[in-house]
A and B are shown apart, each in its own frame.
Chain A
Amino acid sequence: MSAPLLEVRKFTKSFPGVRALRGVSFTLSRGEVLAVIGENGAGKSTLMKILAGVQRQDGGELFLEGECIEIRSVHDALARGIALIHQELNLADNLDVAANIFLGREPHCAGIIDARRLRREARQFLDAVGLDIDPSVLVRTLPIGKQQLVEIAKALSTNARVLIMDEPTSSLSSHEAENLFAVIRDLRKRGVSIVYISHRLGEVKELADRVTVLRDGENAGELAHEEIDHARMVKFMVGRDLSQFYPHQPHTPGALALEVRALRTPANPQHEVSFSVRAGEIVGIAGLVGAGRTELVETIFGVTPALGGSIRIGGVEMVPQSPLDAIAAGLALVPEDRKQQGIVLGMSVRENVSLASLRRDQRHGFLNRSREAQLSAQMIADLRIKTPHDGQAAQFLSGGNQQKVVLGKWLALEPRVLLLDEPTRGIDVGAKQEIYRLMEELAGRGVAIVFVSSEMEEILGMSDRTLVMHEGRIAGELQRTELSEESVLHLATGTHSRATLS
């Protein structure tokens, strides 16, 4: 291979409370597809944001064609030919396709946009990504897969030599993903280098020339094209073999703790969902993004009250109309979006831990401060929350410790049924494993646990039984003995499709 086009040497970057990168290095050759993989929180996104000029590194150097350069802004990065295609697309959906492609660089004469030239040039870049659409249609009328291609066309129009794609298939259908792969291969042929970030290992195997694995902000390993296989990637990502990582033990389920019968959620009112969970059981809910998993647990928890059906908690029938109802019945939910729904960032660890149990522990409306202090001390010890003191604001904790605070808030109420929505998203590997151990321990104590996860390994590793959702309904149920990546995906996609292998 020729001299690298791009070389990153020893990048470091810290945020309040977290060291996101601790010295990451990699190289990228011309016309190469390099996959950067790693668990959530491994530092992939931070690394890419630095390359694209969204953030600046604290330390380390960047070489482009052997020249040491500094990227100060997004504008700088684009001028150097480095373009980032965000996980969430950055298009102005009220404008047409051509206007988006040349946003900020419109061909003009004395400030008046030359619309005809704009369309003509846009056409040329749309062709390059195989998009046969009229440049004057509004972006919002396009399906998401095509919007993504528009974004790529936009990047190409800036003469990008390095395209960084952050989880590009996370919201695409399998057909759209196949289409995207074809475009990527075509770009590679034309000498464009691509950094492809993903945690879908199937895609990586299919596309990448080389794989770099990050773990906890460091290089965990690198795989050449012929070495790329699932087991090796996972091993680098989690730092050990899977069987050791998940502390799963068989449980003996007790009485029925949660029964959901013909439940209709506001998000998918056309489908009825039924399932049940026994005390001491860990049930995983798998499915693609948008399958209705979060909506299901939020409806059970009363965030978005059910339109119909029944819920029995510990044998008592009640359909929660608010989280307050659900909590009273013995439910708890660790929500998907930790910072928005789980934790109050500006409040202290103590105040967060006690938030849900204040009502129970009140003395005629007054705070029971000694009980509050005792509770938070207990949770800090039990869950091993790393914090200098219980008055520390939650915003200064790492993601994993924040998640433990959210868990502590619920454990303080001793719930009968614990619902967890993506419980380990965005937290480091160590904290992940602690959360798995905690789930095991709680199940051992007879708590019924339902967890939603988009991480295949987590579903395979942690669940006694798995419900797979597809387009708003439960497509199937898998016992632990039937559980495999293929069986889950088969149900999750409705068909067996290679393109969505993850």
Chain B
Amino acid sequence: MKKIFGITGLLIVVCIITALASESFLSGYNLENLVRRTALFGIISIGVAFVIVTGGIDLSIGSVVCLVGCGLPWMLKTYHLPLPVALAVVAAVSVGIGLLHGLIITKLRIQPFVVTLCGLMMYRGITRGFTRDQTFGFGSNYDGLRVLSTGNIPLPFIKGFAIPAPWITLLVVAVLAAIFLNRTIWGRYLFALGRNEEAARYSGINTDRMVILAYVISSTLAGLGGVLFVLDVNSAQPVDFGNVYELYAIAAAVLGGCSLRGGEGSIIGVIVGAALMQVLRNMIMLTTTRTNIEFAIIGAVILLGVIADELVKRYAVRRRAAKALAAGQS
């Protein structure tokens, strides 16, 4: 809980700094866009959070976004598939990718890093292959579906700002994810095996099945994100669509309190982390003329955040240990 306060505080500070540095930060257009991007990245970040809770990693997210984001309009345009069929295909592919990752990781005991790194390369390569590097979009069709990403929900009494539609999807995903993680036995199993897989297995938990589930959730939400991203921008280039999104997602999850050692994480934290990532990007875009240093700044902020968190944690552990000792002596 404390961690969420910390990251929320940081988010507010960065917002204030950006607002002071650039007038356009608080413009309705900018805010709307920022909030929309936060929702889209929030969805894929929640996905990777599940994997991180188990102590694993999913590096393939950006490429899954690419595969789905390019594949959906490609199927619609090239094969004129009915929309529900095309959506069913991308859903099946997303779930299948997670299943494949999970099975290789649990049954063959190959490190998640390696498996998903290969996925990162393969899915983008496959996409570039079948699209022949052509850009695909929806043109002026499917507006009804595109509302999911581009629509706005006007707020009563407030003009100039409306809640972007992806927040509906994000809220549904976030609520379901939070209930799953915190209220069901399977969520508890994920946390337990993330901290100590062996002890979880000795306690009668089918750890392999839970790990596979985490990878399925991750790639499914990446696929959902891919659909929403392409509905939003209406044009996907296989060369760079979704490029490094996995890093934004992982960074958001880590900033939001997920430990890469596993066993820790909260959904609210991940969403705040995703927001912080987007505000940082926005700040760089608005306040500097040299947006090419974006990664330098984002990298530095995350590093400082993680170091600060580690120091606070060590201090807390030492204090608690001293307390426990004092209690034991009395």
Chain A 364-384 against B: per-residue CB contact (8 Å), 1 yes, 0 no?
A: 011100000000000000000
| Interface: A351 (CB within 8 A) | yes
Number of B interface residues in the complex (CB < 8 A): 29
**Most central of A335, A392, A396 by chain B CB within 10 Å:** A396
Pair B202/A333 contact, Cβ less than 8 Å: yes
Chain B 257-270 against A: per-residue CB contact (8 Å), 1 yes, 0 no?
A: 00000011000000
A315 to B276, CA, bound (A): 61
Pair A386/B198 contact, Cβ less than 8 Å: no
| Interface: B195 (CB within 8 A) | yes
Contact with A324, one of B183, B206, B324, B327 (Cβ below 8 angstroms): B206
A217 to B329, CA, bound (A): 14
Which residues from 164 to 214 on chain B have a C-beta closer than 8 Å to any C-beta of chain A?
A: 183-186, 188-189, 191-192, 195-196, 198-206
The residue on A at minimum CB distance from B198 is A341
A359 to B192, CA, bound (A): 14
Closest-CB distance, B53 to chain A (whole angstroms)? 12
| Interface: A107 (CB within 8 A) | no
| Interface: A323 (CB within 8 A) | yes
| Interface: B92 (CB within 8 A) | no
* B199 cross-chain contacts in A, Cβ below 8 A: 340-344, 355
| Interface: A409 (CB within 8 A) | yes
The answer to whether A366 and B202 touch (CB under 8 A), given A344-B195, A345-B196, is: no
| Interface: A303 (CB within 8 A) | yes
* A276 cross-chain contacts in B, Cβ below 8 A: none
Which residues from 271 to 330 on chain B have a C-beta closer than 8 Å to any C-beta of chain A?
A: 317, 320-321, 324-325, 327-329
* A356 cross-chain contacts in B, Cβ below 8 A: 203-204
A18 to B191, CA, bound (A): 26
Pair A409/B324 contact, Cβ less than 8 Å: no
The residue on B at minimum CB distance from A364 is B184
The answer to whether A16 and B325 touch (CB under 8 A), given A359-B185, A366-B183, A367-B185, is: yes
The answer to whether A367 and B188 touch (CB under 8 A), given A341-B199, A345-B195, is: yes
A354 to B157, CA, bound (A): 50
The answer to whether A355 and B203 touch (CB under 8 A), given A17-B325, A344-B195, is: yes
* A36 cross-chain contacts in B, Cβ below 8 A: none
Chain A 391-414 against B: per-residue CB contact (8 Å), 1 yes, 0 no?
A: 011001110000000000100000
A324 to B203, CA, bound (A): 8
* A340 cross-chain contacts in B, Cβ below 8 A: 196, 198-199
**Most central of A301, A333, A359, A362 by chain B CB within 10 Å:** A359
Q: Chain A contact residues (Cβ within 8 angstroms of B): what range? A: 35 or more
The residue on A at minimum CB distance from B179 is A366
| Interface: A309 (CB within 8 A) | no
Chain B at the A interface: SS class: helix
The residue on B at minimum CB distance from A326 is B204
A335 to B263, CA, bound (A): 22
Pair A396/B320 contact, Cβ less than 8 Å: yes
Closest-CB distance, B146 to chain A (whole angstroms)? 35
Pair B325/A19 contact, Cβ less than 8 Å: yes
Pair A359/B195 contact, Cβ less than 8 Å: no
Pair B184/A367 contact, Cβ less than 8 Å: yes
A390 to B317, CA, bound (A): 17
Closest-CB distance, A174 to chain B (whole angstroms)? 33
The residue on A at minimum CB distance from B206 is A324
A17 to B322, CA, bound (A): 8
A358 to B205, CA, bound (A): 10
* B321 cross-chain contacts in A, Cβ below 8 A: 15-17, 396
Pair A362/B206 contact, Cβ less than 8 Å: no
19 sampled A-B residue pairs with Cβ under 8 A: A14-B325, A18-B325, A19-B329, A323-B203, A328-B204, A341-B198, A341-B202, A343-B199, A344-B192, A344-B263, A346-B263, A351-B188, A351-B192, A359-B204, A367-B183, A367-B185, A392-B324, A398-B328, A409-B203
Known: A356-B203, A359-B204. 10 other contacts (CB 8 A): A16-B324, A17-B325, A323-B202, A344-B192, A344-B195, A344-B199, A355-B205, A365-B185, A396-B324, A398-B328
Q: What 10 pairs across the A-B complex have the smallest Cβ distances?
A: A16-B321, A327-B204, A358-B185, A396-B324, A324-B204, A356-B203, A344-B196, A346-B195, A355-B203, A323-B204
Instruction: State the B residues within 8 Å of A (CB).
Output: 183-186, 188-189, 191-192, 195-196, 198-206, 263-264, 317, 320-321, 324-325, 327-329
